[in-house]
Amino acid sequence: MEKLDKTDLKILSLLQQNAALPVAEIAPQVNLSVTPCWRRIQRLEREGYIRNRVALLDHNKLNVGVTVFVAIKTRDHSIEWLEKFRNTVQQIPEILSMYRLSGSVDYLLHLVLPDIAAYDKVYKQLIAEVSFQEVSSMFSMEEMKATTAIPLNYYGPL
């Protein structure tokens, strides 16, 4: 894997803002012609810096305007339990992300749903498959910041 330079980081920054941006529009912004710019983007994809290109959808317009964070504690920390939990979560499309944490909570789930009744259905699906010590649900009142853009300034010296 090659070390990224300032041009690579600028390309990544532009694509984080709009993944559908044509190479012909990216190239002049990074002081490259189209072909070398396209090659860099291909390399960034091949090397895994760009994992995927997606469309960000409007939750409210698609009737999943309720955001829930679920904090989970477990007594069982075995690999078998973790794999069962991971497999269960993978099958539930309302769960957008799952994190294993340090501290007083073991796992944090991020869900989007149309309403509390839909959350209750997901909750029942989870507890039917996996046992937990404690489940605490937090319903978001307002989204104050949401981005998928990661900060690129920590990559290291260029």
Q: What domains appear along the chain, each with residue ranges and CATH number? A: 6-46 (1.10.10.10), 66-139 (3.30.70.920)
* 70-to-16, 29, 55, 64, 103 alpha-carbon distances in Å: 28, 42, 25, 16, 15
For tokens 């190479």, name the residue: 23
Alpha-carbon span 148 to 153, nearest angstrom: 15
What does the radius of gyration of the chain's CA atoms come to, in whole angstroms?
20
Question: pLDDT digits over 16-68, tens only?
Answer: 999 999 999 999 999 999 999 999 999 999 999 999 999 999 999 999 999 99
Give the pLDDT confidence score for residue 158 in this predicted structure.
55
Question: Tokens 């796992």, residue?
Answer: 107
pLDDT of 136 above 70: yes
- Helix ranges restricted to H, 47-158: 79-90, 116-129
User: How high is the pLDDT of residue 109?
Assistant: 98
Burial of 26 (0-12, 13-18, 19+ CB in 10 A): buried
pLDDT digits (tens, 9 = 90+) for 72-128: 999 999 999 999 999 999 999 999 999 999 999 999 999 999 999 999 999 999 999
Show the tokens assigned to 136: 């605490």
